[in-house]
Chain A
Amino acid sequence: MLESLLEFAIQGVVLGGLYALFAVGLSLIFGVLDVINIAHGEFFALGGYLAFAGIVLLRWPAGAGVVAAAIGTGLLGLAVHPLLLGPLRRRLGRRPAGPLYLVLTLGLSTFLQSTLLLAAGGEYLRVPPHVRGVLDLGVTAVAYQRLLVLGAAVLALAALFAFLAHHRQGLAIRAVAQNPDAAQAMGIPLGRVHTLTVALGVGLAGLGGALMAPLFNVYPAVGFPLTIKAFAIVIVGGMGNLAGALLASFVVSLAEAFSVMAIPSEWQNLIAFVVMIAVLLLRPQGLLGRAVVR
């Protein structure tokens, strides 16, 4: 029994790393821009495709391929705000956006999936593991590839949190998230911060896609199920709260891992939404979100 629990815990923690890369990026974009990025999964897929291009086609070392894929996704993400979100924001002025950003990013999602399909076809592309072999822990064995995902996620998120806490631009991002008007009064250009934020957020998704490519294969819609689950994770953590998204990622992944002890594995994907509903009923602001006093 203990061995099973330990095995599920390890698997859950490893999966939590991937969820965290995805959900923290999504939460970052929402927290700063107040935009739910439906296209987040397509940047995950893009990361996979860029990793395939670098590692399989150009025969780069795996590490270089993964880093290049993350950076490449982030660079492409730099175009999202100036070309799409920014013009809509300027057009709206101070009027509420309603569902417009949702529709816009849904359109971006469809565009990106179609472009990937056109450019690379619908075949599942295979990327070889970045590291081979398994780590035998006695009670279970964990593929080094999965440990790599967890380790890279921890490093990337630690770097992000340090950037937000100490770097001038990181402080600017936090300032815009808290009070955009006051941030402008400091001389912080909103458009530039929004552009950087989107690039960081989707860059994390691209990193996740590059790391997971050997495990999930690469195809245009690979990121969509993850997007839906990440919404639930972001809500569980508290909308726009990065620490909450990080915590919720592991809460959900561990819940999923342990759930197979009680329910058929085909139902695992429901767990995130069951947790979300439970949190909404008991603590609507999320695990680390702030309650709104009326």
Chain B
Amino acid sequence: MLVVEGVRAGYGRLEILQGVSLTVEPGALVGLIGPNGAGKSTLLKTVFGYLRPGAGQILFEGRPVTGLRPDQARRRGLGYVAQDGGLFAEMTVHDNLVLGGYVLPSRRAVRAAIEAALERFPVLRDRRRQVAGSLSGGEQRILALARALVTRPRLLLVDEPSAALAPGMIDRVYDALVALHRTGLALLIVEQNVEAILGVAGRVFVLDLGRNAFDGTPAELRGSDRVRRLYLGEAVA
């Protein structure tokens, strides 16, 4: 579904990604982990179009998406949830969801899509008129997910869904992600919380200093002493 081949990208003259490759099969849940500064978030931003790669190519469903703007990538079926959620903090939950349906063809379609999102995430229903910035951290993350799903993307890129969340809320967010995955949605999740992602991912890529360092299943990763020691710490069983 997603093929990233030999991508080089960065910020100005600072090259972060140095020939990274990655694949996501249809319906898969793929984790992307690695030390700070490895280029995980940079890769997500490059796939979604916030950054233009200097080399390499990115294919989504067999079609090149390299160099597309983020709004164009969205219309192609990619979704993106930023690390901080990317909410419009001064707007209500309802208006955030309406904006999630910006590319839908009619008001009726937007209303139906919002209703479906509220069915899936009922915690948001009572808070429709609440300003998004006043929600708790976990609720904001749930809203960001709900909003990204309004237009039913076929692949959702999620950047550190558990960042700055309490353990109980991390479980709720991951329960939501797993439930979404079960509907057939493909997910590529960047995560610092290694245990959380290893518990749900079918495949894991490890980046280090902008390069591929590992590619395999969580069981294979746990079975590699070298990878565990270098990238996950001895605490991983």
Contacts and interface: CB of A to CB of B under 8 A. Distances in A.
Contact of A184 (B70, B87, B88, B98): B70
A182 B74 contact: no
Contacts of B86: 179, 181-182, 185
A88 interface: no
Contact of A171 (B11, B12, B49, B99): B99
Nearest to A172: B102
Interface stretch (B24-32, B89-97, B134-142): B89-97
A94 interface: yes
A67 interface: no
A186 B74 contact: yes
A102 interface: no
B157 to A, nearest CB: 10
B82 interface: yes
Contacts of A190: 69, 71
B48 interface: yes
B69 A184 contact: yes
B70 A175 contact: no
A237 B74 CA distance: 36
A185 B88 CA distance: 12
B128 to A, nearest CB: 15
B223 to A, nearest CB: 37
B89 A178 contact: yes
Given A171-B95, A172-B102, A188-B102, A182 B75 contact: no
Contacts of B102: 168, 172, 186-188
Contacts of A93: 12
B24 to A, nearest CB: 18
Contacts of B91: 171, 174-175, 178
A185 B151 contact: no
B81 to A, nearest CB: 8
A189 B89 CA distance: 20
Contacts of B95: 171
A189 B71 contact: yes
B60 interface: no
Contacts of B90: 174, 178
A171 B98 contact: yes
A178 B71 contact: no
A181 B44 CA distance: 13
Nearest to A176: B88
Contacts of A174: 88, 90-91
B89 A185 contact: no
B82 A185 contact: yes
A95 interface: yes
Interface string B2-25: 000000000110000000000000
A186 B103 CA distance: 8
A203 to B, nearest CB: 23
A183 B75 CA distance: 13
Interface string A167-206: 0100110110011011111111110000000000000000
A-B pairs, top 10 by smallest CB distance, nearest first, are: A182-B86, A184-B70, A187-B103, A187-B74, A186-B102, A185-B80, A178-B88, A184-B71, A187-B71, A189-B71
Given A94-B12, A168-B98, A175-B99, 17 more contacts: A93-B12, A171-B99, A174-B91, A178-B90, A179-B88, A179-B89, A181-B82, A181-B86, A182-B88, A184-B69, A184-B70, A184-B74, A185-B74, A186-B99, A187-B74, A187-B103, A190-B69
17 contacts: A171-B95, A172-B102, A175-B99, A178-B90, A178-B91, A179-B89, A181-B70, A182-B86, A182-B87, A184-B50, A184-B69, A186-B71, A186-B99, A186-B100, A187-B151, A188-B102, A189-B69
